[in-house]
Amino acid sequence: MTDRLHYKPDASFRRFLAMSVRGERAAIELMKAYGHAFAFSDFGAGSTEVSKDARKKRQRKADLICKSCGQKLEVRAKSRPQITMSDSASRPFDRELSAGDWVGFLVVQRKSDPNGEEFDETNPDHYEQVGAIHVIRVSELAEKRQQLPEPRRKNEAQGSEAYLEWPSLRAPMTGTVKTIERNPGRIVITDGTRDREVRIEPGWYAYGGLRVGSVVVRGQTILCGWAKPLTVTQLQCGQLRARIAGN
Q: Can you give the binding site for Zn ion, defined by CB under 5 A?
A: 36, 66, 68-69, 237
Shorter beta-carbon distance to Zn ion: residue 68 or 160:
68
Q: Which neighbouring-strand residues pair with 40?
A: 64
Shorter beta-carbon distance to Zn ion: residue 36 or 137:
36
Shorter beta-carbon distance to Zn ion: residue 31 or 162:
31
Shorter beta-carbon distance to Zn ion: residue 160 or 236:
236
Task: Report, in Å, the least distance between residue 198 CB and Zn ion.
Answer: 34
Q: What is the DSSP letter of 79?
A: S
Shorter beta-carbon distance to Zn ion: residue 35 or 124:
35
Shorter beta-carbon distance to Zn ion: residue 54 or 244:
244
Task: Report, in Å, the least distance between residue 124 CB and Zn ion.
Answer: 24
Task: Report, in Å, the least distance between residue 206 CB and Zn ion.
Answer: 24
Enumerate long-range contacts of 3-11, CB under 8 Å, 24 or more apart. Answer: 5/156, 5/157, 5/158, 5/159, 5/160, 6/58, 6/90, 6/159, 7/54, 7/57, 7/58, 7/159, 8/158, 8/159, 9/157, 9/158, 10/50
Handedness of CA 57, 59, 60, 62 (dihedral sign): positive
Task: Report, in Å, the least distance between residue 34 CB and Zn ion.
Answer: 7
Shorter beta-carbon distance to Zn ion: residue 158 or 239:
239
Task: Report, in Å, the least distance between residue 240 CB and Zn ion.
Answer: 7
Provide CB contacts within 8 A for 54, sequence distance 6+: 7
Query: What torsion do the CA atoms of 73, 76, 81, 84 make, to the nearest 10 degrees?
Result: -100
Task: Report, in Å, the least distance between residue 69 CB and Zn ion.
Answer: 3
Closest listed residue to residue 153, CA positions, set 10, 5, 11, 16: 5
- Which strands make up the sheet holding 38-40, listed edge to edge? 38-40, 63-66, 72-78, 102-110, 127-137
Task: Report, in Å, the least distance between residue 95 CB and Zn ion.
Answer: 24
